[in-house]
């Protein structure tokens, strides 16, 4: 059973997934494309996210992504995830830069 995402004042939702080809964390933009940077993510209102999420989940295999779900973010540019887990996913690993894997932007 899916746990609902709570959206507080000054917050929106964005969609995230992992790219099947290489596992890269991706964010859905306003054109329905999956981008490797959270700054490209479309910010959605809680009331309107359900239809967009359903469509993204239905198209996941065709779009080459897996594990599509919504993330609460602060409504700033670029969006800033509310939870620590999603901040790590958005901004990279919590390891020394020498050991980090660079993603192609």
Does residue 5 lie in a domain region? no
Each residue's pLDDT tens digit, 73-100: 999 999 999 999 999 999 877 777 776 6
49 contact partners, CB below 8 Å, separation of at least 6:
13, 15, 70
Task: Say what the alpha-carbon torsion angle 98, 99, 100, 103 is, to the nearest 10 degrees.
Answer: 90
Tell me which of 39 and 3 has the higher pLDDT. Answer: 39
Does residue 101 lie in a domain region? no
How many CB atoms are closer than 10 A to CB 6?
Answer: 9
Does residue 28 lie in a domain region? yes
Q: How many domains does the chain have?
A: 1
Give the range of the structural domain holding residue 91, as residue numbers without chain letter.
Answer: 11-95
Q: Per mean pLDDT, which range of 5-9, 30-34, 101-105 is the poorest?
A: 101-105
Distance between CA 89 and CA 19 in Å, rounded?
13
pLDDT value at position 101?
61
Tell me which of 9 and 27 has the higher pLDDT. Answer: 27
Does residue 103 lie in a domain region? no
Does residue 79 lie in a domain region? yes
Q: What is the mean pLDDT of residues 9-16?
A: 95
Residue 105 in this model has a pLDDT that exceeds 60:
no
pLDDT value at position 94?
72
pLDDT band at 14 (very low <50, low <70, confident <90, very high): very high
């Amino acid at each position: 059973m899916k746990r609902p995402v709570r959206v507080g004042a000054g917050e929106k939702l964005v969609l995230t997934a992992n790219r099947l080809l290489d596992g890269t964390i991706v964010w859905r933009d306003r054109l329905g494309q999956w981008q490797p940077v959270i700054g490209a993510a479309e910010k959605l209102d809680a009331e309107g996210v359900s239809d967009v999420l359903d469509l993204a989940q239905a198209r996941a295999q065709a779009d080459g992504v897996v594990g599509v779900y919504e993330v609460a973010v602060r409504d700033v540019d670029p969006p800033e995830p509310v939870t620590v887990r999603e901040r790590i996913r958005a901004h990279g690993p919590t390891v020394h830069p020498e050991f980090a894997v660079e993603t192609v932007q």
